[in-house]
């Protein structure tokens, strides 16, 4: 499955960190983790630095997690990363897998931001625009 990026938005930067790919747009970013990765705060330092550089702490943005692969994450580390960005306006989770969408419901217990769960990236892009 190829990641469909929105043509109507300007791509600012694209980064491949090996364990994850990120596409940065003016007010949202799309992240896609590799199959089998365990995401921790430590291995997220590269993406965090790019996030800080692109959005700082004042430019509002939405994170879109394209979950086409199976991976795990440290929920407390995840919360710490979210807390670093007061300008994070919400998160969209995209997956065609019912189990992965159910896990997204559990994330709402850790993350006190609007979270939308979608089957299609296009729906997440639309939702992200409404959060800004």
Task: Give the CATH number for residue 110.
Answer: 3.30.750.24
Residue 2 within any structural domain of the chain = no
> Is the residue at 76 inside a domain?
yes
Range of the domain at 106: 13-131
Residue 97 has pLDDT above 80, yes or no: no
* 121 located within any domain: yes
Does residue 3 belong to any structural domain of this protein?
no
Q: Which pLDDT score is estimated for 6?
A: 66
Does the pLDDT at position 1 exceed 60?
Answer: no
Mean pLDDT, residues 35-46 taken together: 87
Mean pLDDT, residues 41-48 taken together: 86
Contact criterion met (CB below 8 Å) for 33 and 43: no
Residue 113 lies in a domain: yes
Any domain includes 109: yes
Write the Ramachandran bin of 36: left for phi over 0, alpha for psi from -120 to 50, otherwise beta.
left
* Mean pLDDT across 88-109: 79
How far apart, in Å, do the first and last CA atoms of the chain sit?
A: 28
**Would 28 be classed as within a structural domain?**
yes
Considering only residues 19 and 107, tell me which one the structure prediction assigns the higher pLDDT: 19
24 is written with which tokens? 């940065």
Mean pLDDT within 55-64: 94
- Report the pLDDT averaged over residues 2-19: 82
Q: How many domains does the chain have?
A: 1
Quick one: average pLDDT of 79-96?
88
Residue corresponding to tokens 């969408």 = 101
The CA–CA distances, whole Å, from 82 to 13, 19, 47, 51, 112 equal 20, 19, 12, 11, 9
């Amino acid at each position: 499955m190829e990641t469909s990026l929105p043509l109507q938005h300007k791509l600012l930067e694209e980064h491949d960190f090996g364990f994850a790919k990120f596409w940065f747009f003016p007010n949202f970013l799309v992240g896609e983790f590799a199959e089998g990765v365990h995401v921790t705060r430590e291995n997220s330092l590269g993406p965090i630095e790019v996030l800080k550089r692109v959005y700082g702490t004042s430019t509002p943005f939405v994170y879109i997690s394209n979950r086409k692969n199976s991976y795990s994450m440290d929920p407390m580390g995840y919360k710490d990363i979210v807390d670093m960005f007061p300008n994070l306006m919400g998160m969209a989770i995209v997956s065609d897998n019912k189990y992965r969408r159910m896990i997204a419901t559990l994330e709402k217990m850790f993350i006190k931001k609007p979270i939308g769960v979608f089957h299609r990236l296009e729906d997440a892009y639309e939702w992200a625009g409404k959060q800004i």
